[in-house]
Amino acid sequence: MSPDDGGADPSARGAASRLLVVGATSGIGRAFALTAARAGHRVLAAGRRAERLDALRATHPNIETLVGDVRSDDDCAAMVGAAVERFGGLDAFVYATGTSPLGPLVDTDGDAWRAILETNVVGAAQVCRAAIPHLLTTGGRALFLSSISADDPRPYLVAYGASKAALDAMVRGWRNEHPDLCVLRVVVGPTITEFGARWDPATTAELARVRAERNLVRTAPMTAEQVADEILHVLISPVWAQDVTLVPDNTPQS
Ligand SMILES: NC(=O)c1ccc[n+]([C@@H]2O[C@H](COP(=O)([O-])OP(=O)(O)OC[C@H]3O[C@@H](n4cnc5c(N)ncnc54)[C@H](OP(=O)(O)O)[C@@H]3O)[C@@H](O)[C@H]2O)c1
């Protein structure tokens, strides 16, 4: 739905909304899938870990699942195709997939760069590419998760920040090529998820030391559920939010 076409209020889609969540096995994507399902939306949850998807599907009857890897163009297309086939159409997708190793640029080899860019940018482009015809039919929405690191790549996460900067440019490009499509970008601040679960503890400690030394220490992080609530809010809002930034509330609590 375009902002000035006088069409139906998208919030009126309510329980009828058919959503694809890519990267739904943990963290923000998983929390969003659950939040959306509980709010009455139908959700196709996708990711690589089948056992996680099985467990998620068991939590709510509105959740269906598909195993897939966004580094495969065919899998990206299959995720969209499965949502359309199972739900009879697609009203929105949320690209909650993301990855990054932790380490300085001098240790980041080409394989690491390629894995980050393929997961965080190329997969996002391929999911959107497959979804576009369906979203244009339904007046649907595309939502990507970016990071505050895009504008300010933090030490040890520079390739990640670069991938999010590329994602941001891609989002602007989708909007330019498809002005009738609502392309949302939610910029996320520090959130408790499994994002750093596989990071080497010694390198993580070194990162904390570097951040403290450079005054980059962050506030208490948000929960994945808090972020999920806000994502659902903007996704089904009658307003085209386009760019939203979510950061922790840092005001003193009485
Ligand atoms: N946590 C934060 O502080 C923070 C801050 C800013 C932005 N973000 C962004 O928020 C999004 C969600 O991250 P998160 O924090 O929730 O991290 P997370 O808990 O690690 O979740 C990442 C998700 O991405 C999926 N994924 C990774 N590689 C994949 C691949 N090749 N194919 C399909 N799925 C893949 C994972 O599933 P499988 O491994 O099962 O495939 C998982 O479901 C990411 O875009 C991240 O950049 C997070």
Helix count and strand count (H, E) for the chain: 8, 9
Q: Which two tokens stand for residue 18?
A: 């058919």
pTM of the complete model: 0.93
Average pLDDT along the chain? 91
Instruction: Tell me the pairing of strands 243-246 and 182-188.
Output: parallel
Domain for residue 251, yes or no? no
Separation of CA 120 and ligand 1 centre (Å): 9
Beta-bridged to residue 92, according to DSSP, are 19, 141
What whole-number distance in Å separates Cα of residue 160 and Cα of residue 195?
12
Tell me the average pLDDT across 238-254: 83
Tell me the average pLDDT across 83-104: 96
Domain for residue 222, yes or no? yes
Strands (E), the chain: 18-22, 42-47, 63-67, 92-95, 141-147, 182-188, 191-192, 222-223, 243-246
Domain for residue 4, yes or no? no
Q: Indicate which residue's Cα is closest to atom 47 of ligand 1.
A: 98
Terminal C-alpha separation, the chain: 43
Separation of CA 97 and ligand 1 centre (Å): 4
**Residue 252 contacts residue 25 (beta carbons within 8 Å):** no
Q: Indicate which residue's Cα is closest to atom 7 of ligand 1.
A: 147
Query: What's residue 218's pLDDT?
Result: 61
How many Cα atoms are found within 13 Å in the side-chain-facing hemisphere of 218?
A: 16
How far is Cα of residue 106 from the mean position of the Cα atoms in its chain?
Answer: 28
Residue 63: which domain range?
A: 14-245
pLDDT at 54 > cutoff 90: yes
User: For the segment 144-195, what is each residue's pLDDT rounded down to a tens digit?
Assistant: 999 999 998 988 999 999 999 999 999 999 999 999 999 999 999 999 999 9
What percent of the chain clears pLDDT 90, i.e. is strictly above it? 78
pLDDT at 252 > cutoff 70: no
Beta-bridged to residue 22, according to DSSP, are 46, 95
Give the binding-site residues of ligand 1, using a 6 Å CB cut-off.
Answer: 23-29, 47-49, 52, 69-71, 96-99, 119, 145, 147, 188, 190-191, 193-195
Domain for residue 1, yes or no? no
DSSP 16: G
Query: What's residue 151's pLDDT?
Result: 93
How far is Cα of residue 253 from the mean position of the Cα atoms in its chain?
Answer: 29
Domain for residue 6, yes or no? no
Domain for residue 159, yes or no? yes
Instruction: Tell me the pairing of strands 243-246 and 18-22.
Output: unpaired
Q: Closest Cα to residue 24, out of 245, 240, 217, 231?
A: 231
Separation of CA 195 and ligand 1 centre (Å): 6
Count: domains in the chain: 1
Query: What's residue 251's pLDDT?
Result: 67
Domain for residue 207, yes or no? yes
Axis-axis angle for helices 123-138, 158-177 (nearest 10):
30
Burial class of residue 100 in the structure, from the number of CB atoms within 10 Å of its CB (0-12 exposed, 13-18 middle, 19+ buried)? buried
- Amino acid identity of 16? A
Residue 148's domain is classified under what CATH number?
Answer: 3.40.50.720
**Helix, strand or coil for residue 114?**
helix
pLDDT at 65 > cutoff 80: yes
Query: What's residue 220's pLDDT?
Result: 86
Query: What's residue 179's pLDDT?
Result: 95
What whole-number distance in Å separates Cα of residue 209 and Cα of residue 217?
9
Tell me the average pLDDT across 123-152: 96
Higher confidence at residue 9 or residue 172? Answer: 172
Domain for residue 5, yes or no? no
